């Protein structure tokens, strides 16, 4: 079986061939169960499902924990059900690290801390870097970033510190999403 590495965790790649909607619901319920193990209240967890799980779509989970809004999404697989599987596996690995005392709750919060409007900010970042709104090609994003960073660098004639910071922030946000 093929392996994949996401957010530093290696696990089996999804191989889902049937019962897409039922499996997506199972993965959603698994995410909720896992987060409850570390003390997240079920009412503070949101795992939206798509009406048709075999179509392409971003899977995400957002939750409120210890006074912080936390968020994780994945969109690189071809089907929503595969994306929600990856979200489940990443959350499973992270929760297990906490339960095994290999990771602190504080580090967990830092790793998943996001603003509520993160999806809108990601769209704006893609627009700023001049790539398509749904672009997930990190190489292409890196190419656009390097070109724009070089052009806007404060040490270059016509460069701007503010523009340079804006480009760096956009790149950092997308890189965090896609690695």
- Decide if 114 contacts 70 (C-beta within 8 A): yes
pLDDT recorded at residue 115? 64
3-state SS class at 83: helix
Residue 60, SS3 per DSSP: strand
Task: Identify the domain boundary among 112, 142, 167.
Answer: 112
Question: What pLDDT is recorded for position 95?
Answer: 97
**Domains: count for the chain:** 2
Which of 62, 79, 112 finishes a domain? 112
Residues in the chain: 179
Same domain assignment for residues 53 and 108: yes
Measured in degrees and rounded to the nearest 5, phi and psi for residue 84 equal -70, -30
Give the pLDDT of residue 137.
78
pLDDT at 28 (0 to 100): 97
Which tokens belong to 42? 């079920």
pLDDT of residue 14: 87
What is the structure's pLDDT at 99? 96
How many whole angstroms from its chain centre is CA 79?
16
**Would you say 47 and 32 are in contact if contact means Cβ atoms under 8 Å apart?**
yes
Q: What is the pLDDT of residue 162?
A: 87
Q: What's the CATH number where 169 sits?
A: 1.10.287
Same domain membership, residue 64 and residue 100: yes
- Longest Cα–Cα distance in the chain: 58
User: Which range of residues forms the domain containing residue 173?
Assistant: 118-178
Residues 80 and 97 in one domain: yes
- Do residues 170 and 105 share a domain? no
Q: Which tens digits make up the pLDDT trace of 125-156?
A: 888 889 888 777 778 888 888 988 888 888 88
Q: Are residues 38 and 20 in the same domain?
A: yes
Residues of the chain with pLDDT under 50: none
**DSSP H or E stretch at residue 11:** strand 9-12
Q: Which residues pair with 71 in a beta bridge?
A: 62
Alpha helices (H) in 38-178, listed in sequence order: 80-99, 105-112, 118-129, 138-152, 161-178
């Amino acid at each position: 079986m093929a392996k994949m590495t996401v957010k530093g965790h290696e696990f089996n790649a999804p191989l889902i061939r049937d019962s897409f909607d039922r499996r997506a619901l199972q993965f959603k319920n698994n995410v909720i169960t896992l987060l409850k193990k570390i003390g997240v209240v079920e009412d503070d967890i949101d795992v939206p499902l798509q009406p048709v799980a075999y179509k392409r779509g971003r899977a995400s989970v957002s939750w409120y924990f210890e006074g912080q809004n936390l968020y994780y999404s994945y969109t690189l697989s071809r089907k929503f059900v595969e994306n929600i599987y990856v979200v489940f596996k990443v959350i499973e690995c992270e929760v297990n690290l906490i339960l095994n005392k290999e990771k602190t709750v504080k580090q967990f919060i830092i790793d998943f801390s996001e603003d509520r409007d993160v999806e809108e900010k990601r769209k704006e970042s893609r627009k700023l870097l001049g790539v398509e709104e749904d672009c997930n090609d990190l190489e292409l994003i890196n190419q656009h970033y390097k070109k724009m960073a070089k052009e806007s660098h404060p040490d270059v004639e016509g460069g701007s510190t503010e523009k340079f910071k804006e480009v760096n922030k956009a790149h950092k946000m997308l890189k965090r999403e896609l690695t």
